[in-house]
């Protein structure tokens, strides 16, 4: 089992819809969770991070964390064509000061 798994995609949604991106992780003790957006040919940029169970909202983005079920999701409301990108989920394993473990990403296309 991969340590961090994302829905394989690609995912297409119409403009104005809600895009839902999911991520599950295997290490129950994981502490910190991050969502990065990566445009084609570019480096990842941080969108959201979440440490506690529940929802965290930032503009059109909401991160949801459920540690009991070991999943974290990203909702994008009122999706725009400019949201079309690959979204990477990253998890900080317990006791690891060294690194993040990344999922392979979900490609999102927002159709005008």
Partner 1 sequence: DGGITQSPKYLFRKEGQNVTLSCEQNLNHDAMYWYRQDPGQGLRLIYYSQIVNDFQKGDIAEGYSVSREKKESFPLTVTSAQKNPTAFYLCATTGDSNQPQHFGDGTRLSIL
* Secondary structure in 3-state letters for the chain: CCCEEECCCCEEEECCCCEEEEEEECCCCCCEEEEEEECCCCCCEEEEEECCCEEEEECCEEEEEECCCCEEEEEECCCCHHHCEEEEEEEECCCCCCCCEECCCEEEEEEC
Decide whether 7 or 96 has the Cβ nearer to partner 1: 96
| Residue from 29, 82, 97, 112 in contact with partner 1 (CB under 8 A) | 97
Q: How far apart are CA 89 and CA 4, in angstroms?
A: 8
| Residue from 13, 26, 56, 102 in contact with partner 1 (CB under 8 A) | 102
Q: How far is the CB of 34 from partner 1 (least distance, A)?
A: 5
Candidates 13-21, 38-46, 58-66, 68-76: pick the segment binding partner 1 (CB under 8 A). 38-46
Any contact of residue 61 with partner 1 (CB under 8 A)?
no
Decide whether 92 or 108 has the Cβ nearer to partner 1: 92
Candidates 14-22, 39-47, 59-67, 74-82: pick the segment binding partner 1 (CB under 8 A). 39-47
């Amino acid at each position: 089992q991969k340590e961090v798994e994302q829905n394989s995609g690609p995912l297409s949604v119409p403009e104005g819809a809600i895009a839902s991106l999911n991520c599950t992780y295997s290490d129950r003790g994981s502490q910190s969770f991050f969502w990065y957006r990566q445009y084609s040919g570019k480096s990842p940029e941080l969108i959201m991070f979440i440490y506690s169970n529940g929802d965290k909202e930032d503009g059109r983005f909401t991160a949801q964390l459920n540690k009991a079920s070991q999943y974290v999701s990203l909702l994008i409301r009122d999706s725009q064509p400019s949201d079309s990108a690959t979204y990477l989920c990253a998890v900080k394993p317990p006791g690891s000061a060294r690194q993040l473990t990344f999922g392979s990403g979900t490609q999102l296309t927002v159709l005008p």
